[in-house]
Amino acid sequence: MIRHILVAVGPSFSEAALSVAINRARRAKARLTVLHVIDETPWWSGPFAESACDTRAITHQLALAIRGHSEKMLRDAGIEADWRTRTRDGRSVARVIADIAALLGADLVVLGTRRRGLLALGIHHVRAIVSRHARCDVLIATDRAPQNARVIEWPTSA
């Protein structure tokens, strides 16, 4: 039985992940937590990220945009959710997601995916690490959930 769903959103924001998480939470009457892990030294800032004065401000503006878009989707769906923001603190984004899922006691982690391409190289890595380290089920959302999609519950081993 799913009681708590954690959905990760980020710069490669996947509406599919949040859409599927909203759908699952509604059908299971589960608590929903939205997590955004902020990388204050992102790969695109290059080797001078820590000395570039605007990098941190830009990443935080991006975080605000991601939160705004996520909250709009939640409002449009008419569902309440908790919001969590964390920084990497030297760990990988994937490890932060897995650690927060364990800390919150999530029963399901929902991650999005991007279409293949040069800039999506690290996405598969994040999914693999979260799947390996999470102590719960991990769902990779590849497409937005239709509004009236039927959810099939799989029996879980206790």
Fold that domain 4-141 belongs to in CATH: Rossmann fold (3.40.50)
What's the pLDDT at 113?
80
67, 89 Cβ separation under 8 angstroms: no
User: d(Cα 24, Cα 30) in Å, to the nearest integer?
Assistant: 8
H or E element: which one contains 143? none
What's the pLDDT at 53?
63
Provide the angle, in degrees to the nearest 10, between the axes of the packed helices 55-77 and 15-28. 40
16, 141 Cβ separation under 8 angstroms: yes
Q: Is the pTM of this model over 0.85?
A: no
What's the pLDDT at 56?
74
Convert the pLDDT of each residue in 5-53 to its tens digit. 999 998 776 788 999 999 999 999 999 999 999 877 655 555 665 555 6
